[in-house]
Amino acid sequence: MLNINTIASLKGVATGDLEVRFVFTLHKRKPMTRKPLLTSFLAMTVSLLALASSVSGCAVSPEAKKKAREATLDKFSKEVTKHLLDRNPATLQESVNQLMHGEVHVSALEKLQARKILPDSTIDVLKAIDDAQIAHLSNEVQILNVRALTPLEKDSVTFRVTGKEIVKVSGKQKDVRPFSLELTCRLTPEMDNMPTLIDVGGMNATTAFSGSGSTAPSPKNKRNTRRRG
């Protein structure tokens, strides 16, 4: 590699002559190393491995799909059950909102309201909250088991959810009520892993929204009554 240095001499300035000399210096060029080539090769290898991993990740086995579907529906069944049985004044409004605006399928709303599984209006929810606060009532829902009763591969699957509802007065346990619900959930490939509830079975007078589930156990009247002869 050549390096050109220009030297201007002041010789002959008086006569108007300017002397310019060019000095050429030869630099030895460094030999190319294999480092850039190796770096490029490694980068290309990493890219190909990432692409292969991405492609292989798209091929999910039927068994893996079934397990993922089961896990999604299992989790949904537990959450819906807790929302259906929630009578805690601190969380009741949010539970009803989840049910009415996402978890329950639109086509099932009127049916579940007619069966008093869901409240008819916001007024019913506010009244239930006020009644619970006045009576110092709340509850806790514990899920013990979730089991599919119909094939998981179907768009609509029925689950049996069992557990217990713990009724509390002033924060203290007053009653324990076992429950067993049958939830029919719908999940299709187009629903983007967001199931909906289309039917409920097993709700009774104590678990229905307008039932006695929000009333405290009343003590028995111990006064003796005189029989008429």
Q: Taking the model in full, what pTM does it have?
A: 0.68
pLDDT of residue 50: 59
Whether the pLDDT of residue 217 is over 90: the answer is no
Model confidence at 83, in pLDDT bands (50, 70, 90)? very high
Residue 71 has pLDDT above 90, yes or no: yes
* Domain assignment present for 29: no
Three-state secondary structure along the chain? CEEEEEEEECCCCCCCCCEEEEEEEECCCCCCCCHHHHHHHHHHHHHHHHHHHHHHHHCCCHHHHHHHHHHHHHHHHHHHHHHHHCCCCCCHHHHHHHHHHHHECHHHHHHHHHCCCCCCCHHHHHHHHHHHHHHCEEEEEEEEEEEECCCCCCCEEEEEEEEEEEEEECCEEEEEEEEEEEEEEECCHHHCCCCEEEEEECCCCCCCCCCHHHCCCCCCCCCCCCCCC
Model pLDDT for residues 146-204, shown as the tens digit of each residue: 999 999 999 999 999 999 999 999 999 999 999 999 999 999 999 999 999 999 999 88
Where is mean pLDDT largest: 18-22, 35-39, 122-126?
122-126
Q: Give me the chain's average pLDDT, please.
A: 79
Backbone angles phi, psi at 9, to 5 degrees: -100, 145
Q: Is residue 54 in some structural domain? A: no
Per-residue pLDDT at 82 exceeds 50: yes
User: Does 96 reside within a domain?
Assistant: yes
Domain for residue 182, yes or no? Answer: yes
Q: How far apart are CA 199 and CA 156, in angstroms?
A: 10
* Cα gap 163→19, rounded to integer Å: 105
- Domain span at residue 138? 66-214
pLDDT digits (tens, 9 = 90+) for 43-56: 666 565 555 555 44
- Mean pLDDT over residues 90-115, rounded? 96
Q: Is 49 inside a domain boundary?
A: no
Residue 18 lies in a domain: no
Count of domains observed in the chain: 1
Q: What is the pLDDT of residue 14?
A: 42
pLDDT (0 to 100) of residue 75? 97
Pairwise pLDDT comparison (126 vs 220), residue with the higher score = 126
Give me the pLDDT at residue 208, please. 76
Residue 25 has pLDDT above 80, yes or no: no
For residues 121 and 213, the model is more confident at 121
CATH of the domain at 83: 3.10.450.230
CA-CA distance, 127 to 135, in Å (whole number)? 12
Greater confidence, 11 or 42?
42
Statement: residue 11 has pLDDT above 70? no
Tell me which amino acid residue 223 is.
R
Is residue 130 situated within a structural domain?
A: yes
* Average of per-residue pLDDT across 16-42: 53
Which band of pLDDT confidence, cut at 50, 70 and 90, is reported for residue 228? very low
Q: Is residue 105 part of a domain?
A: yes
